[in-house]
Amino acid sequence: MVEDKPKQILQNMLNDRESDPTHLLQTLIEVQQAFRYIPHDAIDRLAESLGLGRAFILGVIEFYSFLHLEPRGEYDILLSDNATDQMQGSRLLAELLARQLDVGIGGTRGDYRVSLGYTSCTGMGDQGPAALVNGRAVTRLTSERIDRMVSLIEQAIPLDQWPAELFAVTAGVVRRDIILNSDYSAGAAIRRGLEHGPEALLDLLEQSGLRGCGGAGFSTGKKWRFCAGAEAAEHYVVCNADEGEPGTFKDRYLLQAHADRLFEGMTLCAAVIGARRGFLYLRGEYRYLLETLHKTLQQRRERNLLGHSILGRAGFDFDIEIHLGAGAYICGEESALIESLEGKRGIPRNRPPFPVIQGYRGMPTVVNNVETLANAAMIAQHGPAWFRSVGTAQSPGTKLLSISGDCERPGIYEFPFGTPIGEILAACQAHHTQAVQIGGAAGRLIPPTEFGRTLAFEDLATGGSFMVFNQGRELLKAIDNFTRFFSHESCGFCTPCRVGTAMLVRQLGKVMVGHATTKDLDELATLGTLMRQTSHCGLGLTAANPVLDGLEKFPGIFQARLCSTSFEPSFDLDASLQEARALTGRTDPGAHLEGGGV
């Protein structure tokens, strides 16, 4: 299928790179972009030039949702399928799109003009329903916007000539606190770091009490200190911008509006740990930010904030590369992210050793969230006392929240740690709230009786996702959505997660269609608990949270759907004979089954 011209493109791509196997994933993403799939020729050439096996390369292609072995349409449309998108009517819009374009959901049209499918949350919860068209984010979908897209597609208008408003991503900051209100001056943090030396900077960070903003809350100062103390030929700093937790989009805003702060934080970290290379691992869904991020990096190079002898300090050489993800939630886990950076499938590593000791290429590596690194830069500039002026003793400072769902003002909110959930709900003007999902699909489901609890690592920790459900919502649908999400995103490495997430979907499905009894709820709880006890990484450990929290805090939504018998079949017995009845034309009594359980 690869004709001469594409062959040449492929050759140029390969020539541009050294023959380094860690380039595999980035090259595959480029090939996918250029050809709309990964041709077999490309696999052969990559195998040869990178010295990798075909099976290894196929394994990588099949791991990432955005890489394909079969050609996708010229317009590859993926609709974001998070619970909040669905609440905004995304499923109906998908059907509308499918009808108008005459393509099945999950399929490619015969003329290869268009492909249509669903994808995990694209990080546009405050401006959904959202979609990706050839990787570019389209926001605020309505039936009117769908009509426009269909007409552009049928006229074969190239994507870069589509009206810019379709791609508009607004910042949407509603509440600012010390971080977003304070001024940032480029280079100030690095200068301070260079003046006082790494030790003083580590002290300063530890005094500030800054903790990892990805959700786990590990002390940033400690992490950097461990890494700086690990003897090795190279050290690396990696920014985790794989913001995949459903309902989170605060890093999108930081990358869009404050990338400079983030790069300052990475450079500061490099100065402390002695890194010469840094990586920004950007989730594929945010590739629309790539151009401006590259521009920001270039500006920093021109101002000597990156590159050789940064700010005139001889020997302080550091630069940042941007790596793209390709649609894999698990790559937000730091060790899976490092595997992905190395060009491989994103399978979480055994820990320990932790990345600060053995990370990228086996070298000590700091992996921090976008917000953490940006905060580190601000702390170095304004001092630890400034940061500690808000928040709690154990959770100093503020947290950026991505608020979506049933509230009048969704968007980005900066709240001091220690703020009660009720106050946050009032601020975003949520009414008649039934529940809040804090910390994304992997987080916790909070009922109104717990709205007095606070946003803090010692109470309710969150990576930033805050999804609101009002009393009109069927909460079980959201739980089902999250459970399916994990089943789709499980990396498949360990059995408790690979099999457990699939069984959880089936078992919950039995509840959804009204075939379950109390015994099935016991099974759900047993299964969820087993997954928590035995999974390899955080994904499997938290995948049952929505179900287990639901069972504990909202038992009524499950019980309302139960049968009164002791056990019911998981499917409709008589309906299951319908196809055979049609094929044989039988209507005798033996061609029917009584429903119900025993």
Partner 1 sequence: MVNKVRIATASLAGCFGCHMSLLDIDERLIELVAQIEFDRTPLTDIKQIGSCDVGLIEGGVCNAENVEVLKAFRRHCNILVAVGACAINGGVPAMRNQYSLAECLEEAYLSGSGIDNPQIPSDPELPLLLNQVHPVHDVVWIDYFLPGCPPSADTLFTFLGELLSGQPIQFAYRQIRYD
- Give residues in contact with partner 1 (CB under 8 A): 519, 566-567, 569-571, 573, 576-581, 583-586, 588, 590-593, 597-598
Nearer to partner 1 among residue 246 and residue 496 (C-beta) = 496
Nearer to partner 1 among residue 312 and residue 589 (C-beta) = 589
Nearer to partner 1 among residue 308 and residue 592 (C-beta) = 592
Angle at 240 between CA 21 and CA 193, to 5 degrees: 105
CA 290, CA 324: separation in Å to the nearest integer? 9
**Nearest distance from C-beta of residue 61 to partner 1, angstroms:** 22
315, 309 Cβ separation under 8 angstroms: yes
Nearer to partner 1 among residue 168 and residue 580 (C-beta) = 580
Nearer to partner 1 among residue 260 and residue 520 (C-beta) = 520
CA 514, CA 481: separation in Å to the nearest integer? 17
Other beta carbons within 10 Å of 311: 15
**Nearest distance from C-beta of residue 524 to partner 1, angstroms:** 14
**Nearest distance from C-beta of residue 531 to partner 1, angstroms:** 18
Nearer to partner 1 among residue 254 and residue 527 (C-beta) = 527
Number of helices (H) and strands (E), helices first, in the chain?
24, 15
**Nearest distance from C-beta of residue 592 to partner 1, angstroms:** 8
**Nearest distance from C-beta of residue 577 to partner 1, angstroms:** 5
Pick the closest to residue 542 from 555, 528, 552 (CA basis). 528
Nearer to partner 1 among residue 290 and residue 577 (C-beta) = 577
Nearer to partner 1 among residue 156 and residue 582 (C-beta) = 582
CA 367, CA 336: separation in Å to the nearest integer? 11
Which of 188-211 are b and which e, b meaning 16 or more Cβ less than 10 Å from the residue's Cβ?
bbbbbbbeeebeebbebbbbbbbb
**Nearest distance from C-beta of residue 556 to partner 1, angstroms:** 24
Strand order in the sheet with 444-446: 173-175, 411-416, 398-405, 465-470, 433-438, 444-446
Four-residue CA torsion sign, 293, 298, 299, 300 = positive
Pick the closest to residue 539 from 344, 351, 393, 329 (CA basis). 329
* Alpha-carbon separation of residue 370 from 51, 271, 536 (angstroms): 34, 18, 25
CA 343, CA 331: separation in Å to the nearest integer? 12
143-148's contacts with Cβ under 8 Å and 24+ in sequence apart are: 143/93, 143/96, 146/93, 146/96, 146/97, 146/100, 147/100
Nearer to partner 1 among residue 185 and residue 578 (C-beta) = 578
**Nearest distance from C-beta of residue 481 to partner 1, angstroms:** 23
**Nearest distance from C-beta of residue 291 to partner 1, angstroms:** 43
**Nearest distance from C-beta of residue 442 to partner 1, angstroms:** 28
